[in-house]
A and B are shown apart, each in its own frame.
Chain A
Protein backbone atom coordinates (compact mmCIF):
# COMPACT_ATOMS: atom_id res chain seq x y z
CA UNK A 1 0.00 0.00 0.00
CA UNK A 2 1.66 3.16 -1.15
CA UNK A 3 1.43 6.40 0.78
CA UNK A 4 -0.14 8.02 -2.28
CA UNK A 5 -3.05 5.56 -2.32
CA UNK A 6 -3.65 6.00 1.38
CA UNK A 7 -3.64 9.77 0.92
CA UNK A 8 -6.07 9.46 -2.02
CA UNK A 9 -8.53 7.48 0.11
CA UNK A 10 -8.24 9.97 2.98
CA UNK A 11 -8.81 12.88 0.57
CA UNK A 12 -11.84 11.04 -0.91
CA UNK A 13 -13.38 10.69 2.55
CA UNK A 14 -12.57 14.26 3.54
CA UNK A 15 -14.09 15.66 0.31
CA UNK A 16 -17.19 13.47 0.60
CA UNK A 17 -17.55 14.26 4.31
CA UNK A 18 -17.29 17.98 3.60
CA UNK A 19 -19.85 17.72 0.78
CA UNK A 20 -22.12 15.82 3.16
CA UNK A 21 -21.87 18.56 5.81
CA UNK A 22 -22.25 21.28 3.16
CA UNK A 23 -25.43 19.55 1.99
CA UNK A 24 -27.06 20.30 5.37
CA UNK A 25 -25.75 23.88 5.40
CA UNK A 26 -27.00 24.43 1.85
CA UNK A 27 -30.38 22.89 2.72
CA UNK A 28 -30.78 25.19 5.75
CA UNK A 29 -29.83 28.23 3.65
CA UNK A 30 -32.21 27.22 0.84
CA UNK A 31 -35.07 26.68 3.28
CA UNK A 32 -34.62 30.22 4.59
CA UNK A 33 -34.30 31.65 1.10
CA UNK A 34 -37.44 29.79 -0.03
CA UNK A 35 -39.70 31.37 2.59
CA UNK A 36 -40.87 34.26 0.35
CA UNK A 37 -41.51 31.82 -2.53
CA UNK A 38 -43.54 29.54 -0.28
CA UNK A 39 -45.46 32.56 1.01
CA UNK A 40 -46.34 33.56 -2.58
CA UNK A 41 -47.66 30.07 -3.29
CA UNK A 42 -49.56 29.93 -0.01
CA UNK A 43 -51.16 33.32 -0.74
CA UNK A 44 -52.18 32.13 -4.21
CA UNK A 45 -53.76 29.01 -2.69
CA UNK A 46 -55.56 31.20 -0.12
CA UNK A 47 -56.89 33.84 -2.52
CA UNK A 48 -57.94 31.44 -5.27
CA UNK A 49 -59.15 28.77 -2.84
CA UNK A 50 -57.01 26.06 -4.47
CA UNK A 51 -57.04 22.57 -3.02
CA UNK A 52 -54.42 20.56 -4.92
CA UNK A 53 -50.98 20.59 -6.50
CA UNK A 54 -50.92 20.59 -10.30
CA UNK A 55 -48.69 17.54 -10.46
CA UNK A 56 -50.75 15.07 -12.46
CA UNK A 57 -52.73 16.87 -15.16
CA UNK A 58 -53.50 13.86 -17.34
CA UNK A 59 -56.96 13.12 -15.90
CA UNK A 60 -59.39 15.15 -13.78
CA UNK A 61 -59.29 12.77 -10.81
CA UNK A 62 -55.49 12.81 -10.74
CA UNK A 63 -55.35 16.61 -11.10
CA UNK A 64 -57.42 17.08 -7.92
CA UNK A 65 -56.93 13.86 -5.90
CA UNK A 66 -58.37 15.38 -2.73
CA UNK A 67 -61.62 16.30 -4.49
CA UNK A 68 -62.28 12.89 -6.01
CA UNK A 69 -64.78 10.27 -4.98
CA UNK A 70 -64.34 6.54 -5.22
CA UNK A 71 -66.56 6.28 -8.29
CA UNK A 72 -64.54 8.64 -10.44
CA UNK A 73 -61.54 6.42 -11.16
CA UNK A 74 -63.94 4.02 -12.82
CA UNK A 75 -65.29 6.90 -14.89
CA UNK A 76 -68.65 5.69 -16.20
CA UNK A 77 -68.91 2.04 -15.28
CA UNK A 78 -67.09 -0.22 -12.79
CA UNK A 79 -65.36 -2.39 -15.39
CA UNK A 80 -63.87 0.59 -17.21
CA UNK A 81 -60.16 -0.05 -16.79
CA UNK A 82 -57.80 2.51 -15.36
CA UNK A 83 -55.59 3.61 -18.21
CA UNK A 84 -53.69 6.66 -16.97
CA UNK A 85 -50.25 5.86 -15.47
CA UNK A 86 -50.64 8.32 -12.60
CA UNK A 87 -54.10 6.92 -11.82
CA UNK A 88 -52.33 3.66 -11.07
CA UNK A 89 -49.70 5.40 -8.93
CA UNK A 90 -51.88 7.65 -6.79
CA UNK A 91 -53.65 6.03 -3.86
CA UNK A 92 -57.21 7.11 -3.05
CA UNK A 93 -57.27 9.90 -0.44
CA UNK A 94 -57.32 8.56 3.16
CA UNK A 95 -60.62 10.29 3.97
CA UNK A 96 -62.33 8.15 1.32
CA UNK A 97 -60.72 4.93 2.50
CA UNK A 98 -61.55 5.70 6.16
CA UNK A 99 -65.16 6.56 5.45
CA UNK A 100 -65.70 3.71 3.03
CA UNK A 101 -67.59 4.32 -0.19
CA UNK A 102 -68.54 7.96 -0.49
Chain B
Protein backbone atom coordinates (compact mmCIF):
# COMPACT_ATOMS: atom_id res chain seq x y z
CA UNK B 1 0.00 0.00 0.00
CA UNK B 2 2.89 2.32 0.90
CA UNK B 3 4.40 1.64 -2.50
CA UNK B 4 1.09 2.39 -4.22
CA UNK B 5 0.88 5.76 -2.44
CA UNK B 6 4.47 6.41 -3.42
CA UNK B 7 3.56 5.88 -7.07
CA UNK B 8 0.54 8.17 -6.76
CA UNK B 9 2.56 10.97 -5.13
CA UNK B 10 5.24 10.77 -7.82
CA UNK B 11 2.65 12.26 -10.21
CA UNK B 12 0.76 14.21 -7.61
CA UNK B 13 -0.54 17.09 -9.78
CA UNK B 14 -1.67 14.79 -12.55
CA UNK B 15 -3.40 12.51 -10.05
CA UNK B 16 -4.86 15.45 -8.12
CA UNK B 17 -6.46 16.85 -11.30
CA UNK B 18 -7.66 13.34 -12.18
CA UNK B 19 -9.32 12.94 -8.76
CA UNK B 20 -10.88 16.42 -9.13
CA UNK B 21 -12.48 15.61 -12.52
CA UNK B 22 -13.50 12.14 -11.32
CA UNK B 23 -15.08 13.61 -8.16
CA UNK B 24 -17.01 16.11 -10.30
CA UNK B 25 -18.42 13.33 -12.48
CA UNK B 26 -19.40 11.20 -9.46
CA UNK B 27 -20.93 14.32 -7.88
CA UNK B 28 -23.09 14.98 -10.98
CA UNK B 29 -24.21 11.38 -11.33
CA UNK B 30 -24.94 11.01 -7.61
CA UNK B 31 -26.82 14.34 -7.50
CA UNK B 32 -29.15 13.24 -10.31
CA UNK B 33 -29.69 9.78 -8.82
CA UNK B 34 -30.33 11.13 -5.28
CA UNK B 35 -32.62 13.90 -6.52
CA UNK B 36 -34.67 11.72 -8.86
CA UNK B 37 -35.11 8.95 -6.30
CA UNK B 38 -35.97 11.31 -3.42
CA UNK B 39 -38.56 13.25 -5.40
CA UNK B 40 -40.12 10.04 -6.75
CA UNK B 41 -40.41 8.62 -3.22
CA UNK B 42 -41.78 11.87 -1.83
CA UNK B 43 -44.32 12.13 -4.68
CA UNK B 44 -45.43 8.54 -4.09
CA UNK B 45 -45.95 9.21 -0.36
CA UNK B 46 -47.68 12.60 -0.70
CA UNK B 47 -49.89 11.63 -3.65
CA UNK B 48 -51.19 8.58 -1.78
CA UNK B 49 -53.81 11.07 -0.57
CA UNK B 50 -54.92 11.95 -4.13
CA UNK B 51 -58.43 10.94 -5.25
CA UNK B 52 -58.67 7.27 -6.25
CA UNK B 53 -60.24 8.31 -9.57
CA UNK B 54 -60.38 11.72 -11.25
CA UNK B 55 -63.06 11.86 -13.91
CA UNK B 56 -62.72 14.32 -16.79
CA UNK B 57 -65.33 15.09 -19.42
CA UNK B 58 -64.01 14.98 -22.96
CA UNK B 59 -65.62 16.94 -25.79
CA UNK B 60 -64.14 16.74 -29.31
CA UNK B 61 -60.99 15.18 -27.87
CA UNK B 62 -60.42 17.96 -25.37
CA UNK B 63 -60.98 18.31 -21.63
CA UNK B 64 -64.30 20.07 -21.01
CA UNK B 65 -66.35 21.25 -18.02
CA UNK B 66 -68.15 18.46 -16.18
CA UNK B 67 -71.92 18.79 -15.58
CA UNK B 68 -72.78 18.40 -11.87
CA UNK B 69 -75.61 16.06 -12.96
CA UNK B 70 -72.97 13.39 -13.72
CA UNK B 71 -72.35 13.01 -9.97
CA UNK B 72 -75.72 11.37 -9.38
CA UNK B 73 -75.26 9.15 -12.44
CA UNK B 74 -72.21 7.41 -11.01
CA UNK B 75 -72.80 7.69 -7.25
CA UNK B 76 -74.87 4.52 -7.27
CA UNK B 77 -72.02 2.35 -8.65
CA UNK B 78 -71.16 -0.24 -6.00
CA UNK B 79 -67.83 0.42 -4.30
CA UNK B 80 -67.86 4.20 -4.69
CA UNK B 81 -67.66 6.01 -1.35
CA UNK B 82 -68.20 9.55 -2.53
CA UNK B 83 -68.14 11.69 -5.64
CA UNK B 84 -67.48 15.41 -5.46
CA UNK B 85 -66.91 18.07 -8.03
CA UNK B 86 -63.52 19.76 -8.10
CA UNK B 87 -63.42 23.42 -9.04
CA UNK B 88 -59.99 24.43 -10.19
CA UNK B 89 -58.29 26.19 -13.06
CA UNK B 90 -55.37 28.33 -14.09
CA UNK B 91 -54.79 32.05 -13.79
CA UNK B 92 -52.09 33.95 -15.61
CA UNK B 93 -50.88 37.00 -13.69
CA UNK B 94 -49.85 39.55 -16.33
CA UNK B 95 -48.13 41.78 -13.78
CA UNK B 96 -45.63 39.14 -12.73
CA UNK B 97 -45.79 36.77 -15.70
CA UNK B 98 -46.60 33.87 -13.41
CA UNK B 99 -49.16 31.07 -13.68
CA UNK B 100 -51.25 30.30 -10.59
CA UNK B 101 -53.63 27.42 -9.88
CA UNK B 102 -57.00 28.62 -8.64
CA UNK B 103 -59.01 26.23 -6.53
CA UNK B 104 -62.28 26.30 -4.61
CA UNK B 105 -62.14 23.69 -1.85
CA UNK B 106 -65.39 21.94 -0.92
CA UNK B 107 -65.21 23.29 2.61
CA UNK B 108 -63.82 26.82 2.62
CA UNK B 109 -63.92 28.57 5.97
CA UNK B 110 -62.63 32.03 5.00
CA UNK B 111 -65.72 33.29 3.17
CA UNK B 112 -66.24 35.28 -0.02
CA UNK B 113 -63.69 37.93 -0.91
CA UNK B 114 -60.91 36.22 1.02
CA UNK B 115 -58.18 34.06 -0.45
CA UNK B 116 -55.49 31.75 0.88
CA UNK B 117 -52.28 31.76 -1.14
CA UNK B 118 -49.31 29.42 -1.49
CA UNK B 119 -45.82 30.49 -0.45
CA UNK B 120 -44.70 30.70 -4.09
CA UNK B 121 -47.55 33.08 -4.99
CA UNK B 122 -46.67 35.21 -1.97
CA UNK B 123 -43.01 35.33 -3.02
CA UNK B 124 -43.73 36.26 -6.65
CA UNK B 125 -46.46 38.84 -5.97
CA UNK B 126 -44.90 40.15 -2.73
CA UNK B 127 -48.29 39.67 -1.07
CA UNK B 128 -48.67 38.71 2.57
CA UNK B 129 -51.52 38.35 5.05
CA UNK B 130 -54.15 41.12 5.02
CA UNK B 131 -52.85 42.53 1.71
CA UNK B 132 -55.15 43.19 -1.23
CA UNK B 133 -54.66 40.85 -4.15
CA UNK B 134 -56.39 42.05 -7.34
CA UNK B 135 -57.67 39.36 -9.68
CA UNK B 136 -58.93 39.95 -13.21
CA UNK B 137 -62.18 38.11 -13.89
CA UNK B 138 -62.97 36.25 -17.12
CA UNK B 139 -65.01 39.27 -18.36
CA UNK B 140 -62.23 41.78 -17.71
CA UNK B 141 -63.30 43.22 -14.36
CA UNK B 142 -60.77 43.59 -11.56
CA UNK B 143 -61.84 42.37 -8.14
CA UNK B 144 -59.72 43.03 -5.05
CA UNK B 145 -59.36 39.95 -2.86
CA UNK B 146 -58.07 39.96 0.67
CA UNK B 147 -55.19 37.59 1.50
CA UNK B 148 -56.53 35.89 4.60
CA UNK B 149 -53.78 33.34 5.12
CA UNK B 150 -50.59 31.93 3.63
CA UNK B 151 -50.22 28.20 3.14
CA UNK B 152 -47.27 26.77 5.04
CA UNK B 153 -43.93 26.91 3.24
CA UNK B 154 -43.39 23.26 4.24
CA UNK B 155 -46.11 22.23 1.78
CA UNK B 156 -44.64 24.19 -1.15
CA UNK B 157 -44.01 21.08 -3.21
CA UNK B 158 -47.78 20.72 -3.66
CA UNK B 159 -49.08 24.20 -2.88
CA UNK B 160 -46.56 26.82 -4.08
CA UNK B 161 -48.82 28.18 -6.85
CA UNK B 162 -52.21 27.62 -5.21
CA UNK B 163 -54.81 30.32 -4.63
CA UNK B 164 -57.74 28.99 -2.63
CA UNK B 165 -61.05 30.84 -2.66
CA UNK B 166 -64.77 30.33 -2.13
CA UNK B 167 -66.90 28.67 -4.81
CA UNK B 168 -68.70 31.95 -5.58
CA UNK B 169 -65.40 33.81 -6.04
CA UNK B 170 -63.99 31.02 -8.20
CA UNK B 171 -66.99 31.12 -10.54
CA UNK B 172 -66.79 34.95 -10.62
CA UNK B 173 -63.09 34.89 -11.62
CA UNK B 174 -63.04 31.89 -13.95
CA UNK B 175 -66.48 32.16 -15.51
CA UNK B 176 -67.32 28.49 -14.83
CA UNK B 177 -71.16 28.54 -14.84
CA UNK B 178 -73.34 27.12 -12.08
CA UNK B 179 -74.09 23.44 -12.64
CA UNK B 180 -70.60 22.73 -13.90
CA UNK B 181 -67.32 21.77 -12.24
CA UNK B 182 -63.80 21.21 -13.61
CA UNK B 183 -63.79 17.47 -12.99
CA UNK B 184 -64.94 14.89 -10.46
CA UNK B 185 -62.98 13.30 -7.61
CA UNK B 186 -64.22 9.77 -6.94
CA UNK B 187 -63.34 8.15 -3.61
CA UNK B 188 -63.18 4.36 -3.49
CA UNK B 189 -62.54 2.52 -0.21
CA UNK B 190 -61.23 -0.74 -1.67
CA UNK B 191 -58.24 0.03 -3.88
CA UNK B 192 -58.45 -3.34 -5.68
CA UNK B 193 -61.83 -2.27 -7.09
CA UNK B 194 -60.51 0.93 -8.70
CA UNK B 195 -59.89 -0.46 -12.24
CA UNK B 196 -63.32 -2.19 -12.25
CA UNK B 197 -65.08 0.96 -11.09
CA UNK B 198 -63.18 3.05 -13.69
CA UNK B 199 -64.40 0.62 -16.39
CA UNK B 200 -67.99 0.81 -15.11
CA UNK B 201 -67.85 4.63 -15.16
CA UNK B 202 -66.64 4.80 -18.78
CA UNK B 203 -69.36 2.32 -19.77
CA UNK B 204 -72.00 4.45 -18.07
CA UNK B 205 -70.54 7.79 -19.23
CA UNK B 206 -68.65 7.17 -22.49
CA UNK B 207 -67.78 10.87 -22.88
CA UNK B 208 -65.60 10.81 -19.76
CA UNK B 209 -62.00 9.82 -19.10
CA UNK B 210 -61.02 8.33 -15.72
CA UNK B 211 -57.51 8.83 -14.35
CA UNK B 212 -56.74 6.48 -11.47
CA UNK B 213 -54.46 7.23 -8.53
CA UNK B 214 -52.08 4.54 -9.66
CA UNK B 215 -51.74 6.35 -12.98
CA UNK B 216 -51.07 9.63 -11.16
CA UNK B 217 -48.32 7.96 -9.14
CA UNK B 218 -46.80 6.33 -12.22
CA UNK B 219 -46.68 9.73 -13.93
CA UNK B 220 -44.05 10.92 -11.45
CA UNK B 221 -42.14 7.70 -11.81
CA UNK B 222 -41.99 8.41 -15.53
CA UNK B 223 -41.08 12.09 -15.12
CA UNK B 224 -38.06 11.24 -12.99
CA UNK B 225 -37.27 7.94 -14.59
CA UNK B 226 -33.71 7.64 -15.88
CA UNK B 227 -35.10 7.67 -19.41
CA UNK B 228 -36.85 10.98 -18.83
CA UNK B 229 -35.37 14.16 -20.17
CA UNK B 230 -34.25 15.67 -16.88
CA UNK B 231 -32.23 12.72 -15.70
CA UNK B 232 -31.09 11.74 -19.18
CA UNK B 233 -29.89 15.25 -19.99
CA UNK B 234 -27.54 15.42 -17.02
CA UNK B 235 -26.74 11.71 -16.82
CA UNK B 236 -25.75 11.48 -20.47
CA UNK B 237 -23.33 14.41 -20.12
CA UNK B 238 -21.72 12.89 -17.05
CA UNK B 239 -21.61 9.34 -18.48
CA UNK B 240 -20.10 10.50 -21.78
CA UNK B 241 -17.40 12.54 -20.02
CA UNK B 242 -16.68 9.55 -17.78
CA UNK B 243 -16.41 7.27 -20.82
CA UNK B 244 -13.94 9.66 -22.50
CA UNK B 245 -11.99 9.83 -19.27
CA UNK B 246 -11.89 6.02 -18.78
CA UNK B 247 -11.19 5.46 -22.49
CA UNK B 248 -8.21 7.79 -22.25
CA UNK B 249 -6.87 5.69 -19.38
CA UNK B 250 -7.63 2.38 -21.10
CA UNK B 251 -6.05 3.21 -24.43
CA UNK B 252 -2.59 3.58 -23.07
CA UNK B 253 -0.15 4.56 -20.41
CA UNK B 254 2.15 7.55 -20.62
CA UNK B 255 5.77 6.93 -21.66
CA UNK B 256 6.80 7.60 -18.07
CA UNK B 257 4.39 5.01 -16.71
CA UNK B 258 5.53 2.43 -19.27
CA UNK B 259 9.14 3.08 -18.32
CA UNK B 260 8.23 2.61 -14.66
CA UNK B 261 6.65 -0.77 -15.38
CA UNK B 262 9.71 -1.77 -17.44
CA UNK B 263 12.01 -0.93 -14.51
CA UNK B 264 9.84 -2.92 -12.11
CA UNK B 265 9.86 -5.93 -14.45
CA UNK B 266 13.61 -5.63 -14.95
CA UNK B 267 14.16 -5.64 -11.19
CA UNK B 268 12.34 -8.93 -10.83
CA UNK B 269 8.66 -7.97 -10.43
CA UNK B 270 6.10 -10.48 -11.68
CA UNK B 271 3.27 -9.39 -14.03
CA UNK B 272 0.82 -10.16 -11.20
CA UNK B 273 2.72 -7.80 -8.87
CA UNK B 274 2.52 -4.97 -11.42
CA UNK B 275 -1.20 -5.59 -11.95
CA UNK B 276 -1.75 -5.62 -8.16
CA UNK B 277 0.14 -2.32 -7.86
CA UNK B 278 -1.99 -0.74 -10.61
CA UNK B 279 -5.14 -2.22 -9.04
CA UNK B 280 -4.35 -0.53 -5.71
CA UNK B 281 -3.44 2.71 -7.48
CA UNK B 282 -6.80 2.70 -9.31
CA UNK B 283 -8.64 1.73 -6.12
CA UNK B 284 -7.12 4.56 -4.05
CA UNK B 285 -7.84 7.19 -6.72
CA UNK B 286 -11.34 6.00 -7.57
CA UNK B 287 -12.40 5.45 -3.94
CA UNK B 288 -11.17 8.94 -3.03
CA UNK B 289 -13.25 10.43 -5.85
CA UNK B 290 -16.24 8.17 -5.14
CA UNK B 291 -16.45 8.93 -1.42
CA UNK B 292 -15.93 12.67 -1.90
CA UNK B 293 -18.34 12.85 -4.88
CA UNK B 294 -21.14 10.97 -3.10
CA UNK B 295 -20.83 13.01 0.13
CA UNK B 296 -20.75 16.30 -1.83
CA UNK B 297 -23.81 15.22 -3.87
CA UNK B 298 -25.68 14.40 -0.64
CA UNK B 299 -24.88 17.86 0.75
CA UNK B 300 -25.86 19.48 -2.57
CA UNK B 301 -29.23 17.73 -2.92
CA UNK B 302 -30.41 17.50 0.69
CA UNK B 303 -28.81 20.58 2.25
CA UNK B 304 -28.05 22.87 -0.65
CA UNK B 305 -31.56 22.81 -2.20
CA UNK B 306 -30.13 21.22 -5.39
CA UNK B 307 -28.83 24.58 -6.63
CA UNK B 308 -27.23 23.07 -9.72
CA UNK B 309 -30.30 21.02 -10.71
CA UNK B 310 -32.95 23.66 -9.94
CA UNK B 311 -32.35 25.78 -13.10
CA UNK B 312 -33.06 22.68 -15.25
CA UNK B 313 -36.35 22.08 -13.44
CA UNK B 314 -37.38 25.73 -13.37
CA UNK B 315 -37.33 26.16 -17.15
CA UNK B 316 -39.15 29.43 -17.83
CA UNK B 317 -41.29 29.22 -14.72
CA UNK B 318 -41.51 32.48 -12.85
CA UNK B 319 -42.95 30.66 -9.87
CA UNK B 320 -40.97 27.73 -8.56
CA UNK B 321 -41.37 25.97 -5.21
CA UNK B 322 -38.57 26.10 -2.67
CA UNK B 323 -38.43 22.72 -1.04
CA UNK B 324 -36.04 20.59 0.93
CA UNK B 325 -36.17 16.95 -0.12
CA UNK B 326 -36.28 14.12 2.39
CA UNK B 327 -33.06 12.06 1.97
CA UNK B 328 -34.43 8.77 0.69
CA UNK B 329 -31.10 7.11 -0.03
CA UNK B 330 -30.41 3.40 0.06
CA UNK B 331 -27.67 0.83 -0.60
CA UNK B 332 -29.06 0.12 -4.08
CA UNK B 333 -28.36 3.68 -5.29
CA UNK B 334 -24.85 3.61 -3.81
CA UNK B 335 -24.17 0.21 -5.39
CA UNK B 336 -25.44 1.45 -8.77
CA UNK B 337 -23.15 4.48 -8.55
CA UNK B 338 -20.22 2.29 -7.50
CA UNK B 339 -20.65 -0.09 -10.43
CA UNK B 340 -21.16 2.84 -12.80
CA UNK B 341 -18.02 4.75 -11.78
CA UNK B 342 -15.47 2.77 -9.73
CA UNK B 343 -15.48 -0.62 -11.46
CA UNK B 344 -15.04 0.73 -15.04
CA UNK B 345 -12.20 2.98 -13.89
CA UNK B 346 -10.27 0.22 -12.07
CA UNK B 347 -10.70 -2.08 -15.09
CA UNK B 348 -9.52 0.70 -17.37
CA UNK B 349 -6.31 1.16 -15.38
CA UNK B 350 -5.48 -2.55 -15.08
CA UNK B 351 -5.78 -3.51 -18.78
CA UNK B 352 -3.02 -1.20 -20.17
CA UNK B 353 -0.78 -2.06 -17.19
CA UNK B 354 -1.25 -5.77 -17.90
CA UNK B 355 -0.38 -5.17 -21.56
CA UNK B 356 2.76 -3.22 -20.66
CA UNK B 357 3.77 -5.76 -18.00
CA UNK B 358 3.45 -8.61 -20.50
CA UNK B 359 5.94 -7.12 -22.95
CA UNK B 360 9.69 -7.39 -22.73
CA UNK B 361 11.10 -4.93 -20.08
CA UNK B 362 13.79 -3.75 -22.44
CA UNK B 363 11.25 -2.96 -25.20
CA UNK B 364 8.98 -1.18 -22.69
CA UNK B 365 11.82 0.99 -21.36
CA UNK B 366 12.95 1.88 -24.88
CA UNK B 367 9.33 2.87 -25.70
Contact = CB atoms under 8 A, between A and B. Distances in A.
Contacts of B115: none
Given A40-B154, A89-B229, A51 B49 contact: no
B203 to A, nearest CB: 16
Q: Chain B CB within 10 Å — which of A31, A60, A93, A102 has the most?
A: A93
Interface string B1-21: 011011001000000000000
Contacts of A12: 288
B302 A30 contact: yes
Interface residues of B, number: 85
Given A40-B155, A58-B99, A93 B228 contact: no
Given A1-B5, A49-B84, A85 B316 contact: yes
Given A13-B287, A16-B288, A34 B156 contact: no
B321 interface: yes
A63 B99 CA distance: 9
A93 B219 contact: yes
B157 A63 contact: no
B315 A9 contact: no
Interface string B54-97: 10101001110000000000000000000010100010000000
B344 interface: no
A34 to B, nearest CB: 4
Contacts of A40: 152, 154-155
A42 B48 contact: yes
B215 A23 contact: no
A81 interface: no
Contacts, number: 212
A76 B105 CA distance: 30
Interface stretch (B140-148, B236-244, B325-333, B349-357): B325-333
Contacts of A11: none
Contacts of A17: 291
Contacts of B288: 12-13, 16
Chain A binding surface, main DSSP class: helix
B90 A63 contact: yes
A53 B158 contact: yes
Nearest to B225: A91
A65 B216 CA distance: 9
Interface in B145-187: 151-152, 154-162, 164, 183, 185
Given A57-B161, A65-B219, A49 B86 contact: yes
A69 B62 CA distance: 8
A46 B86 CA distance: 12
Contacts of A86: 313, 315-317
Contacts of B46: 38, 41-42, 45, 53
18 contacts: A5-B9, A23-B294, A44-B155, A47-B105, A51-B47, A53-B39, A54-B321, A57-B98, A67-B63, A84-B316, A90-B230, A91-B227, A93-B218, A93-B219, A93-B222, A94-B215, A94-B222, A102-B209
| The 8 A-B residue pairs with the shortest CB-CB distance in the complex, in nearest-first order | A46-B49, A85-B315, A89-B229, A95-B215, A27-B327, A45-B49, A16-B291, A93-B219
Interface of A: 1, 5-6, 9, 12-13, 16-17, 19-20, 23-24, 26-27, 30-31, 34, 37-38, 40-60, 62-63, 65-67, 69, 71-72, 84-86, 88-95, 102
Interface of B: 2-3, 5-6, 9, 39, 42-43, 45-51, 54, 56, 58, 61-63, 84, 86, 90, 98-101, 103, 105, 118, 120, 151-152, 154-162, 164, 183, 185, 209, 211-212, 215-216, 218-223, 225, 227-230, 233, 284, 287-288, 291-292, 294-295, 298, 302, 312-313, 315-321, 326-329
